[in-house]
Amino acid sequence: MSVHPETETGAQAGTANTPEEGVYSFAAMEAKWPQVWEDLKVFTPLDDGSRERRYVLDMFPYPSGDLHMGHAEAFAMGDVVARYLRQKGYDVLHPIGWDSFGLPAENAAIKRNAHPSEWTYTNIDTQAASFKRYAISADWSRRLHTSDPEYYRWTQWLFKRFYERGLAYRKDSPVNWCPKDLTVLANEQVVNGACERCGTPVTKKSLNQWYFKITEYADRLLDDMSELQGHWPERVLAMQRNWIGRSEGAHVRFVIEAAGRRPEKEVTVFTTRPDTLYGATFFVVAADAHLALDLVTPEQHDELMAYREKVKALSEIERQSTEREKTGVFTGRYAINPLNGEKLPVWAADYVLADYGTGAIMAVPAHDQRDLDFAKAFGLPVRAVLETGAEDPAESGVATSGEGTLKNSGELDGLSKAEAIPAAIEILEKLGTGEKFVNFRLRDWLLSRQRFWGTPIPIIHCAECGEVPVPDDQLPVTLPQDLRGEALAPKGTSPLAAAAEWVNVECPNCGRAAQRDTDTMDTFVDSSWYFLRFVSPHYTDGPFDPAKINEWMPVGQYVGGVEHAILHLLYARFFTKVVHDMGLLDADEPFSALLNQGQVLNGGKAMSKSLGNGVDLGEQLDKFGVDAVRLTMVFASPPEDDVDWADVSPAGSAKFLARAWRLGQDVSSAPGVDFSGGDRALRTVTHRTIAEAAVLLDNNKFNVVVAKLMELVNATRKTIDSASGAGGADPAVREAAEAVAVILSLFAPYTAEDLWNQLGHPASVANAGWPVHDDSLLVQETVTAVVQVQGKVRDRLEVAPDIAEDALRELALASDNVQRALDGRGIRTVIVRAPKLVNIVPA
């Protein structure tokens, strides 16, 4: 489809370069310009310090098939920012690469009896071609793929540095296990108790796994969000805050009395309510924690074991259901309340989680609903220690958690809840049985995966020496090439274990026979530092060039979907902080600003294969052209809002583009003409548009910029067609058309380039530079002052923009309409906001 302009009307000068005389043809433009841009290296940063640098980054894609509408939206947004900053004169780094390790490639390889790299790199080539067609202003010379050995060599190098700092370690722990993908999952990859990838309910499995100690950075990850405030979407910060889950309270140590041959034992609990310590009537440990086994008396042992079996059989989804009846078993032991010496029965239950806090709690049923439910189920006592005015929880069955005054609490009696919390902590500290403690919900990052297509963990296991890191000069540990097809099928252990030749090596330490670690890294490890690699992707002496890294980092504008609000963004922040602490990087936050583009929907729903409501990007590009699709993405709504493809009109965008392009057909003045004699009204519109567009772009209001651009095009058209003026020969028309070309180049690079060319300028419009607006042209000769009486508009006055308040007040009071509205009433106040408004308040 091409959009044809109306029949030519005359002005023919300046159209010599038109590909096909007078016809807007996106196909011709798409065929013509990519080569020109490539030859001119328009989008390769100078990287020489001659200009201020800016780093603009889109979250790099995973190579699953060809690009889709979601990519088109995200990359359209990021490209607006990159192209705008380039026009503003910055040296812009806007790279592209692929997050190319991951399960889909492996599954495809099993199905096709191939190596995952085949599927991966074929898809990457397809996507790369599509990106080029889509005219992303990327520096292709910096292209990288995380599955290239040249890349993952440095992922392994970084892993080793983490290991040396004690930030990468192995431990036995019950982990999330996906029974379909047959691999472990990080907490972040479990959504509502199910695998985020395939939706299979997750089970627990006890395994020895590699972890990154992200919890050591919990405080900083939380505190440093203050730097991001205002530059990151509030909801992303809220999600991270939630996820980190900082909780202030106290650790309290309880002595568990000796029983028979079981010796006395001290157990610590975490509580946010140390003020309610006198209300503790029992004690609970997580049934699945080892602690339960340590405590249980021989008499209760069988009962506990039976209960643990039952708990294990529950799926995560069942276990997390809040409607479940409370269950548990008595352990036969008693804990001593450190404040009043009271004996509390110790129970084991599954409502206490082994991996939160200390896996044990003091139960205060009067003031905690879960404890109350448990107490009622097992006939345990309830004692209120906080008078809130509500009914006694023992009677009502509703725990009271609000404000109140302490009672039945010895020295704490009479204090408010807010006073009692620190007071209780102070008492505990004096007794030496507790102290203030800040607990986090965040768990360490489980990074090992029992799958093939990922970065091998560069560790060798030696019977003599234990864990031995592969020496730096032997990196990368590359994946074997000979495993393919069925050999990659998930078995619950890594497929790498079957590659005997690969696994069996000499210990780098003692030379004896040893084995490689056969797990691979979570792909989120790969993507936690790729933005650093882009600064110097071909550097061979380290993960990045130390001479360059601080010139570009941090990323000034990061663009991507909100689905990565926690996972990728939290991990990348963690990695950045560690690399910073290693002294390799000045920045300690990777992304100064974040833009979450919305989703592309169709008919109110996310596009999906199962719904069959997908819109094919390729078809849209064929039908409307790249520029129209890009413009539609940007114009439809604010960047962070969803775009419903059923609600928008790529045809409308195409119409506008043809309209803008046709301005070039009608401009008949020569390039370089003096604009000063041009139509004043149009010049004002042009300069106002330039000024407003810059402000709007600085605030990511791309959709509004497009609207302003449409106004400018309309105004220019009017001037050309006006019978009274000079039409296409008016220098103001050229000035306007040139501004249109430059601003349009952010959204519709082909049309803008072609327009620029029609206007007689050499390529590329991307280098034209942002037009400088003339403030004197923005000053209007008169402005409309609104005159209100009691807030209602009663008159409008044309006044000079610099009118004095007094003069405006006089004019307003003299207005007939005002006098009529006042209807003889006196005047109480007159508010004057010269030159725009007068509000007269009658008595």
Residue 697 binds to RNA (criterion: CB under 7 A) = no
For RNA, the closer CB: 673 or 704: 704
Handedness of CA 726, 729, 730, 736 (dihedral sign): positive
Under DSSP, the state recorded for 549 is: H
Residue 800 binds to RNA (criterion: CB under 7 A) = no
Non-local CB neighbours of 263 within 8 Å, separated by 6+ positions: none
CB of 829 to RNA, least distance (A): 6
Encoded one letter per residue, x for contact with RNA by CB under 7 A and - for no contact, window 541-570 reads ---------------------x--xx----
Residue 295 binds to RNA (criterion: CB under 7 A) = no
Of 312-341, which residues contact RNA (CB under 7 A)? 319-320, 322, 324, 326-327
For RNA, the closer CB: 158 or 425: 425
Of 149-208, which residues contact RNA (CB under 7 A)? 191
For RNA, the closer CB: 411 or 721: 721
CB of 796 to RNA, least distance (A): 6
CB of 410 to RNA, least distance (A): 20
Residue 680: C-alpha distances to residues 672, 716, 727, 780 (Å): 18, 12, 13, 10
CB of 570 to RNA, least distance (A): 11
Under DSSP, the state recorded for 64 is: S
Residue 796 binds to RNA (criterion: CB under 7 A) = yes
For RNA, the closer CB: 133 or 701: 701
CB of 642 to RNA, least distance (A): 6
Q: Which residue has the tokens 């191939």?
A: 114
For RNA, the closer CB: 64 or 327: 327
Encoded one letter per residue, x for contact with RNA by CB under 7 A and - for no contact, window 122-151 reads ------------------------------
Residue 3 binds to RNA (criterion: CB under 7 A) = yes
Distance CA 790, CA 774 (A): 38
Distance CA 297, CA 282 (A): 17
Alpha helices in 553-649 (DSSP H): 567-581, 617-624, 626-635
CB of 357 to RNA, least distance (A): 3
Burial of 823 (0-12, 13-18, 19+ CB in 10 A): exposed
SS3 235: helix
Nearest partner of 49 among 444, 443, 383, 550, judged by Cα: 550
Binding-residue total with RNA (CB under 7 A): 87
Strands 343-349 and 328-336: antiparallel
CB of 575 to RNA, least distance (A): 21
How many angstroms separate the first and last alpha carbons of the chain? 66
Among 66, 216, 644, 774, binds RNA (CB under 7 A): 644
Residue 98 binds to RNA (criterion: CB under 7 A) = no
SS3 annotation, 585-611? CCCCCCECCEEECCCEEECCEECCCCC
Among 34, 480, 546, 652, binds RNA (CB under 7 A): 652
Residue 353 binds to RNA (criterion: CB under 7 A) = yes
How does 332-352 read in b/e, with b if 16+ C-beta sit within 10 Å?
bbbbbbbbeeeebbbbbbbbb
For RNA, the closer CB: 178 or 763: 178
For RNA, the closer CB: 112 or 828: 828
Nearest partner of 334 among 388, 280, 287, judged by Cα: 280
Among 97, 345, 357, 537, binds RNA (CB under 7 A): 357
Encoded one letter per residue, x for contact with RNA by CB under 7 A and - for no contact, window 244-273 reads -x-x-x-------------------xxxxx
Non-local CB neighbours of 439 within 8 Å, separated by 6+ positions: 246, 247, 248, 249, 270, 356, 357
CB of 264 to RNA, least distance (A): 23
Residue 393 binds to RNA (criterion: CB under 7 A) = no
Distance CA 534, CA 112 (A): 33
- The amino acid occupying position 794 is R
Among 12, 203, 637, 722, binds RNA (CB under 7 A): 637
For RNA, the closer CB: 245 or 614: 245
Residue 388 binds to RNA (criterion: CB under 7 A) = no
Alpha helices in 134-271 (DSSP H): 149-164, 218-223, 225-228, 234-244
How many angstroms from the chain centroid is the CA of residue 80? 18
CB of 374 to RNA, least distance (A): 8
Range in contact with RNA (rule: CB under 7 A) among 498-506, 724-732, 758-766, 780-788: 780-788
CB of 479 to RNA, least distance (A): 32
Distance CA 802, CA 366 (A): 70
Residue 831 binds to RNA (criterion: CB under 7 A) = yes
Distance CA 538, CA 529 (A): 15
CB of 618 to RNA, least distance (A): 23
Of 707-736, which residues contact RNA (CB under 7 A)? 707-708, 710-711, 714, 717-718, 721
For RNA, the closer CB: 286 or 532: 286
Strands 643-644 and 600-602: parallel
Distance CA 815, CA 448 (A): 79
Among 351, 452, 558, 661, binds RNA (CB under 7 A): 351
For RNA, the closer CB: 60 or 232: 232
For RNA, the closer CB: 42 or 442: 442
Strand partners, 625: none
Reading the block at residue 784, the tokens are 């409309």
CB of 202 to RNA, least distance (A): 12
CB 346 within 8 A of CB 284: yes
SS3 annotation, 82-139? HHHHHHCCCEEECEEEECCCCHHHHHHHHHHCCCHHHHHHHHHHHHHHHHHHCCCCCE
Of 407-426, which residues contact RNA (CB under 7 A)? none
CB of 474 to RNA, least distance (A): 39
Encoded one letter per residue, x for contact with RNA by CB under 7 A and - for no contact, window 454-483 reads ------------------------------
For RNA, the closer CB: 123 or 189: 189
CB 68 within 8 A of CB 566: no
Residue 4 binds to RNA (criterion: CB under 7 A) = yes
For RNA, the closer CB: 305 or 566: 566
